Structure 1
């Protein structure tokens, strides 16, 4: 199984529907080694790219224990013609993702999984900006990889900033998926967010067991696209 971690900063906290009532900002950690991407013509495989924050990057667990790595193992076991690229970056906001997505897409992809926005919500950033940035990322993917399937991972946040803000934040994902005819994962952390047994000591990031549940949630959506 070809599993690539892009040369991005390593991993730290995204608090999404966690048991902690007060959100904490992510801090940069040590950088990870660069791993070259082989051209598709050389590997003969299509590209499945996960683009997100520390949830995607797999903070606090080994790469093969994070949900993206588990998806890669599943793909490998089924001998599907895909390589998995993990473009998760700790602390990433939608604005940051919008600024770097063009660089990430120097080579085309076939499936693009977009997991961003949680840090925007936790910081109380304007929902209009989050919506605009997510749309900008989607537009860039469609320009750079016109044939790519885009999967949008839905997010939710605790109601620290008010019920209305949390409700409107959640609605962004369904709205954008409908507008752009995207495949939607309604909530990436379904069955994991807020469960202390499935999160690390920070109450924020999934344990390996939590990532296994996330991987099942993601796989249920991805499998029909990859078969």
Structure 2
């Protein structure tokens, strides 16, 4: 069963009835504190919508435009977002326990201040260029196939994070905790004399270690 949705009231009615929502157009709408738990949403656009404090737990959202959406203080526990455009979205104070972001466009998204992360939180194949992930505790998580170029991870706890096939070109890692962060297989971008200090404690590959030594003016002989 699917429902045609053009107003916030119709969206809420669809969720309450258990109907799937397809291709709604709710740009800029006020959905503050709305109970959308279990929402099944595919396509459409809620660009710029105000979802502060909304309940979205157990929602499945795919191929939807959520650019600039305000999700501060929202509950996104157990939410699965696939192929969603979240560029410029704000998540301060949002609860994201067991949330999955898969193949999402998250350019300039602000995740600073999100809460409730667990070991099953997933960031996979997402574009996080210029995103703000500063001062987060991501310890022990797995981040795979993500582009974090020029993203801000300053002050974050990245200990034991497994970065798999990630791009870290120009990523800001100032004051981040990097002990046992696994960077093997990642694109670290330009290696400079500051790189050893920035990556202190991280795990790198022999090729990456050689590039770092070269940046320091050292020669590695076998």
Question: TM-score if structure 2 supplies the norm length?
Answer: 0.25
Larger radius of gyration: 2
Q: Which has the higher helix share?
A: 1
